[in-house]
Amino acid sequence: MENIFAPWRMQYISVSKEQEGCIFCDFPKEDRDEERLILFRGRSCFVILNAFPYNPGHLMVAPYRHTCEYEGLEDVELFEMHRVAGRCIEALKRAMHPQGFNLGVNLGKVAGAGFDGHLHLHVVPRWNGDTNFMPVFTDVRVVAEELGATYRKLRDCWI
């Protein structure tokens, strides 16, 4: 996969290497949503911008509860996770006009989960010619748009 030089990514890479514990548990407990790229907080789950996006606007919906078992999700978590994914799609459509989306959950490292302790639903906007389907969720990809700008654009388009 082709690499694009993007020096602003270095801060995120160094942050993530220092990061211990679980970002999906730790970040919502803090009061720095913009810095942590938390876009929306629901009752049982929240939305966070992926700091290692496959494409610009790559979002993740995660329950607050620390679990890696999809089959053990509560009804309320399952329902809200997918309802909120719909709102992610709405915001992405308004902000970035993608031509398609991939939605998916990777369970286990072997399935491509970069972080497999706390399940999360990926919402990835797609554009014609961005790449093939196969690398989705399995590789880190450098994107040209700065994360903070994407965050603010999506926040403005959140309804």
What SS3 class is residue 141?
Answer: coil
Alpha helices in 8-137 (DSSP H): 9-18, 23-29, 33-36, 75-96
**In this chain, which of 22, 76, 111, 140 binds Zn ion, going by CB under 5 A?**
22
Please list the active-site residues: 120
Residue 62: half-sphere exposure toward Cβ, Cα within 13 Å:
27
Contact map string, positions 90 to 129, toward Zn ion, x by CB under 5 A: ----------------------------x-----------
Q: Is 19 in the site for Zn ion (CB under 5 A)?
A: no
Distance in Å, CB of 113 to Zn ion, minimum = 13
Question: Which residues here bind Zn ion, judged by CB under 5 A?
Answer: 22, 24-25, 66, 118
